[in-house]
Amino acid sequence: MKNDSISELLLEVRTKHPLVHNITNLVVTNIVANALLAIGASPVMAYANEEVGDVALASAAVALNMGTLDSRIVNAMEITAHAANEGQVPVVFDPVGAGFTPYRNEVATKMINKYDLAVIRGNTAEIGFLVGAGGTVKGVDAIGVGDSLLLRMVQYARIQHCVIVATGETDYVTDGRNLWSLRNGHSLLATITGSGCMLTGIIGAFVGVIERDASLLSIAHTCIAAITCYNVAGEIAAQTASGPGTFQVALFDALYHLSGDTVSDLAKVELVM
């Protein structure tokens, strides 16, 4: 993937202002909405079972996040995913805490097996658990990763016919055939609540500007662009931050002011296989 393509996709997001329907972690709803606004997208946070299907059909993409689960939210995610599939609206799924409790494992498995997902994005331990590579999850945080993660990711993406994203110190993206490593970012991203949730929403924004029948390769390239833009913004924010509090504010500003040229110059994307 050429770095210029990342710049072009960022411009597409800022030109089209894609509406992204988020059912996300209730702890960070406001943060996710602000991150989407800063990058140039239009967020909607709808949770009512009575309207989520209609909202999904009106959106450019859907981002579903398991951060704070209860039966009503799970039902809302299912209604949303069903409507999105019917309307060919791409779904980005974030299996937060998969591998931590049986309930989270059950919900994640159901969402993955029952619905067509364009992207599954989790931290390395969550993805490791889902693909059978192992991984240790403490609450919603990764504290251990299996050795066979990358190979299993590629195999799982091919079986599920979707793009798999595993984020950590190094991020990995696969479309089931190719595997890329992404090495931008900053350690302060791990010190704020909702860093992964923000990224899931931003991936939704980028996926929302490409064709509905896009190939998995195109979706993977779009995920690479979204992740790289987010991580470069994190690097820029860290230059002026004195800690997690100032970093979060600086991150919104960095996303807002981010230029395609800067991202192209700083992008660290490598095709692994």
**Is pLDDT at 132 greater than 50 in this prediction?**
yes
Check residue 70 and give its pLDDT.
93
Check residue 219 and give its pLDDT.
98
* 196 is known to lie in a ligand binding site: no
At 243, is the pLDDT very low, low, confident or very high (cuts 50, 70, 90)?
Answer: very high
Whole-number average pLDDT of the chain: 94
**Is pLDDT at 146 greater than 90 in this prediction?**
no
At 249, is the pLDDT very low, low, confident or very high (cuts 50, 70, 90)?
Answer: very high
Instruction: Look at the alpha carbons of 85, 88, 89, 90 in this order and tell me if their dihedral is positive or negative.
Output: positive
Rounded Cα distance, 255 and 39, in Å: 5
Rounded Cα distance, 74 and 93, in Å: 12
Domain boundaries, the chain: 3-271
Residues 3-271, CATH architecture = 3-Layer(aba) Sandwich (3.40)
Contact 59, 44 (CB under 8 A): yes
* 121 is known to lie in a ligand binding site: yes
Which of helix, strand or coil describes residue 2?
coil
Rounded Cα distance, 91 and 82, in Å: 10
The mean per-residue pLDDT over the stretch 210-233 comes to 97
* 273 is known to lie in a ligand binding site: no
At 133, is the pLDDT very low, low, confident or very high (cuts 50, 70, 90)?
Answer: confident
Tens-digit pLDDT profile for residues 23-73: 999 999 999 999 999 999 999 999 999 999 999 999 999 999 999 999 999
Contact 21, 62 (CB under 8 A): yes
* 167 is known to lie in a ligand binding site: yes
Q: Where are the alpha helices (DSSP H) in the chain?
A: 3-16, 29-39, 52-57, 71-86, 102-114, 124-131, 149-160, 195-207, 216-238, 244-257, 260-266
Tens-digit pLDDT profile for residues 100-117: 899 999 999 999 999 999
Longest CA–CA span in the chain (Å) reads 47
Check residue 135 and give its pLDDT.
62
Share of the chain above pLDDT 90, in %: 91
The mean per-residue pLDDT over the stretch 16-21 comes to 98
**Is pLDDT at 142 greater than 50 in this prediction?**
no
Global pTM?
A: 0.94
Annotate 139-192 with DSSP letters as a single string. TTEEEEE-TTHHHHHHHHHHHHTSEEEEESSSEEEE-SS-EEEE----GGGGGS
What's the Cα-to-Cα distance from 217 to each of 118, 176, 211, 220, 223, rounded to whole Å?
Answer: 11, 9, 12, 5, 10
**Is pLDDT at 9 greater than 50 in this prediction?**
yes
**Is pLDDT at 136 greater than 70 in this prediction?**
no
